[in-house]
Each structure stands twice: as structure tokens, then as C-alpha cells.
Amino acid sequence: MNNLGRVLIIAGSDSGGGAGVQADIKTVTALGGYAATAITAVTVQNTLGVTGVHPIPLEIIESQARAVLDDIGADVIKTGMLGDAATVALVARLLEEFAIPAVIDPVMVAKGGASLLAAEAVAIVRHRLVPHAALLTPNAPEAEALTGLAVATTDDLRRAGEALLVLGAKAVLMKGGHVAGDRVIDVLMTPDGETAFEGERIDSRHTHGTGCTLASACAAGIAQGLPLAAAVARAWDYVHEAMLQAPGFGAGHGPLNHGWPLRGRI
């Protein structure tokens, strides 16, 4: 029980189960943590895309979060899809009040291209959420939106990561999946230095929810007391294997196999 790290996930629901809160819960559970949620929106989606987004009222989002924090508590808060400026501001206020380490996944666009964050909310993420991030996990397009810098190479990732550290993030995991090349390079950056995570690019259409999954895996590790680099390394390996063992569901961007560590244990 000492390693059952508690993660409060504040994010949107994915009816297809591949991303969002569903992916987050599966990931934290598979890695031995305890997941609780405050759902920000209900989306209508499958592997072919998002066809509907239905926001949850602000007072309900806040009530969900407070119900968890006032009773169960959390070792880490992980954010995903927040949707609009008012929700981002609400989450920022909760982080200021509770002072719990936060893994911020600045979700902006779904795998199929649907927008999941209003344009006017980006500035609030930049100035209100980024400074609360114990770990920020942007991909290249998200890093571009947050910094205004073009991100096309690994060196560009590093420059954007440095800018995000200046904005107040304690650490950033700059994800290189959108950077062209046969190998994928993610770079964990802190004021003390950097660690690169590199592997062969997996040729697969089953990549739905990789960002949510990686951020939640990092959050689980941090909640369980792992050092940051070790938490990210475990998360990286977990996502890599989940992609390799993807079940092949759906005709579009399919889900990962989040439960692979549990095979043979049930």
C-alpha cells in the first residue's frame, strides 16, 4: 500500500476508451497507482475522430475535484483536456489552493484533428498552469502554441523546453513524436540538465491516446515516490510496449493495450 500513489485526473472522457480519462485510469491502475477523476467534458468519439464535445458545468468540475481532495486526497494532480479558458482558470485556482504537484498535459488537438482547447485559453495555460507544473508534457505543436517558437527538430524542442522552464515549469518532457525521422527522441529538461529518451519509431496507426497515457504514467510514478527521471523512464517503456501490444481495434487511430503489465496476474 505504501506505493499506491494517488492521482487525481482532471480531464475529458473519451467514449472510445483510448484517450482521456479512460486511458488515464487504465494507465495509473496498470502501474499500481490509484486513480480518481474530475471530468471536464464528455466527448463523443471513436478511432475515426471526435464528433461531439459536451462540457461539464464549472461548479460540477470543481465539486468533483474537491470531493476527492477533501476525502481521499492526491499525491499528484494530472490534467488533460480542459477545453476552455474558464476551466483552465478553475484548475489553476485549485492548484494554487491545494499546492499538490501537477503533471500538466496541455491537450489542444485530438489525434484526428479536432480542437480540444479554445484558442483564447492558450494564454491562460501559458501564464496560469505552466508555472504550477512539476512536469509539463507538450508535443511539438503544443510547444509551438505555448512558446511561439517553431518546432521542427530536436534542437527546436530543446529551445522550446528552455522557454517553458523560463515560464515557470519545474520540468518539461518535450515529446518528439511529431518531429520527422526514423527515431523518436523525447527530452526531459529541468534547470539542472536534461535526459533524452530515444527509440525506433513504431510504424503503427494505433497511437490514439499516447500523450494522455505517457503523462498519466509519469504522474503515477511521481505519486509513488519515484525520482522524476525514473518515473519518466518507466512511463516511456510502458507506452512503448502498450503500442507494440495494441489490440488492433477500430478503423482509424486505434487504442493502445494499457493493460499489458497485468497479463497473467489476474
Catalytic residue from among 209, 213, 218, 221: 209
207 labelled catalytic: yes
210 labelled catalytic: yes
Catalytic residue from among 78, 87, 175, 254: 175
CB-based burial, 111-137: b 16+ in 10 Å, e otherwise? beeeebbbeebbebbbebbbbbbbbbb
Q: Count the alpha carbons within 13 Å of 105 in the hemisphere toward its beta carbon.
A: 30
Catalytic residue from among 210, 213, 218, 221: 210
Joined grid coordinates for residue 148: 511561439
State the Cα–Cα distance between residues 238 and 261, nearest whole angstrom: 8
218 labelled catalytic: no
- How large is the angle between the packed helices 210-223 and 228-244, nearest 10 degrees? 140
Catalytic residue from among 137, 207, 213, 221: 207
Catalytic residue from among 5, 33, 80, 211: 211
Catalytic residue from among 78, 212, 221, 254: 212
Which one, of 2, 5, 1, lies nearest residue 221 by Cα? Answer: 5
Which one, of 158, 222, 213, 227, lies nearest residue 186 by Cα? Answer: 158
SS (H, E, C) 58-93: HHHHHHHHHHHHHHCCCCEEEECCCECHHHHHHHHH
111 labelled catalytic: no
Active-site residue list: 175, 207, 209-212
